[in-house]
A and B are shown apart, each in its own frame.
Chain A
Amino acid sequence: MLRLYSISLVQFKNYQNRSIQFNERIVGISGPNGIGKTNLLDAIHYLCFTKSYFTRIDGNNISQGYDGFRLEGQFEVWDKPEKAICILRETGKKEFSVNDQLYEKFSRHIGHYPCVIIAPDDIQIITGGSEERRRFMDTLLSQLDAVYLQQLINYNKVLQQRNSLLRSFADTGSKDLSLLSVLDEQLVKPGQGIFERRKEFLIAFLPRAKQFYIEIAKSTSRRPASSTAENINLFYTSELLQASFAELLNLNQSKDIMLMRTTSGVHKDELEFTLNEQPFKNMASQGQRKSLLFALKLAEMEALKNEKGFAPILMLDDVFEKLDEERIVNLLQTVCVENDGQVFITDTSSERLVQHLTPLKKPFQLIDLTN
């Protein structure tokens, strides 16, 4: 079981110094635009992932005019209290500790507090470029599997080196093919591993996501039964399904040298979604896109729960926007009643939160950030 009981934020975004207690499993957070609801969720995300959900640059999260920030969370994991602290020093150095034990590698922390966030921009997972979907897969698999995360880090490092080497071939006119073959070997090992893990995982995961989608679509559809038979499908596509990575690198070597970048590999993998055999993003309505996003996130939540033995922390940022009543009820039923993990939900209106949370008949806490 995983709970966050309190958080303190010092010089983090719009919070100069604030401590907030979380007394219930279900926490509603309200306040007008710009008050800091999303920032509070991002602080929780920091404690789970050692980084922001929104920016790669730690310094951007420091309150304007200050020189560093500090986040502290009191967690409980399987009934054991844990204190997680993230500090960005004035020097720009980041420190992360759990129970005062500093991590030497932040990657070791990933998956320790599993967490799923659904934020408005996440619709990019459905409508954006393929890198959005790879990021979704990687975030999920990294929390499930530390080996996967290490392979991903190594893959990206070697990939950068290989691309630099390919560029240097063009710059200097001399080709050290023996160095290229060393980098190929170094790339193949994590690359092939990432592929195998993605494939194995997605075989079970994608059908689950599809099921969640069908459930969401069914219960929210007011259309006649015949037209609800919208047929969605989710596929994993990778060149590595056709040939081994080592073969692909060999095959594409001259092309890679010419284009000065690595043209094959798991950094080209894709999750494809279709609606009635057509690309989903071209066909789907806004509501359908949002339904598929929730389906993926709910399946992610389930996968984390199955692996860890407890539910991940779930954060829903502004999800009520543009959702009809039935969908809201249905979603809250799934994440608050059928799920026993901690849930943070933000909305601009505390009345709307009360109105939606009360019928669930579960204890909940309301935090109005205006006060």
Chain B
Amino acid sequence: MQFSSSLLENAVNEFARLPGIGKKTALRLVLHLLKQDTNDVSQFSEVIAKMRSEIKFCQRCFNVADGDICSICANSMRRQEMICVVENIRDVIAIESTQQYSGTYHVLGGVISPLDGIGPDQLNIESLANRVQKERTEELIFALNPTIQGDTTIYYIQKKLAAASGEQSQNIRITTIARGIAFGGELEYADEMTLARSLQNRLPVENYVSR
């Protein structure tokens, strides 16, 4: 692609770095912006810059947040004793859009996969264990992708919780959302209807872990 302006070329190259955007699409987007009012484009870039620099991660659940605590954790209408454990923020968005879940979340940031160099220490697992202990959680719902690594992660966390169990004999209910929702695909691709249904059909992993 030949450009008569390096400003244009730089902008196209930046857009083309985004996932799923090729050079052609990048050029189309940039030419579109070129037709817009200067102020509108400034606002566009400010919103993006501000999003990146000011966004925070919830100290409790690691979801995206405007402050220290995300709006889901801060919402007193939500059932604080229930935690849905997910891989990433996209899963939170997918489950929230079903409007079927009224508890809180915990974003792991991935699943355990030694093959990819991801061990428990790279994930928000320690913080989950602490949280369960401190908040006297009653139910953990695992909404991880039904893969070998997803299973590894669930069993590992279960083991950790069981090991951390002290004298208190309070039971936590541990469930996974029904298998098959994301058959061959990713959780984010499961449509809202199947996701909503699977939230109602949770399967106990191993009914209780006492702690």
Contact = CB atoms under 8 A, between A and B. Distances in A.
Contacts of B117: 168
A182 B158 CA distance: 10
Contacts of B185: 104
Residue from A104, A161, A164, A182 whose CB has the most chain B CB atoms within 10 Å: A182
B152 A186 contact: yes
B148 A182 contact: no
A58 interface: no
A355 to B, nearest CB: 50
Nearest to B113: A161
A178 B163 contact: yes
B156 A179 contact: yes
Interface residues of B, number: 19
Interface string B121-138: 000000000000000000
Nearest to B117: A168
A168 B112 CA distance: 13
A154 B148 contact: yes
Given A161-B113, A165-B114, A178-B159, A186 B151 contact: yes
A185 B159 CA distance: 12
Given A158-B148, A186-B148, A178 B156 contact: yes
Interface residues on A, range: 10 to 19
A183 B117 CA distance: 15
B181 to A, nearest CB: 13
B160 A161 contact: no
A161 B156 contact: no
Contacts of B112: 179
Chain B at the A interface: mostly helix, strand, loop or mixed? helix
Interface of A is mostly: helix
Interface in B94-136: 112-115, 117, 119-120
A94 B153 CA distance: 29
B44 interface: no
B165 interface: no
A105 B147 CA distance: 13
A176 interface: yes
Interface in B134-167: 148-149, 151-152, 155-156, 159-160, 163
A164 B118 CA distance: 10
B148 A161 contact: yes
Contacts of B20: none
Contacts of B159: 178, 181-182
A183 B152 contact: yes
Contact of B156 (A158, A160, A164, A182): A182
Interface of B: 112-115, 117, 119-120, 148-149, 151-152, 155-156, 159-160, 163, 183-185
11 contacts: A104-B185, A154-B148, A158-B152, A161-B114, A178-B160, A178-B163, A179-B119, A179-B152, A179-B156, A186-B151, A186-B155
Interface of A: 104-105, 154, 157-158, 160-162, 164-165, 168, 176, 178-179, 181-183, 185-186
Given A158-B148, A185-B155, 12 more contacts: A104-B184, A105-B183, A158-B152, A161-B114, A161-B115, A161-B148, A178-B156, A178-B160, A179-B112, A179-B120, A179-B152, A183-B152
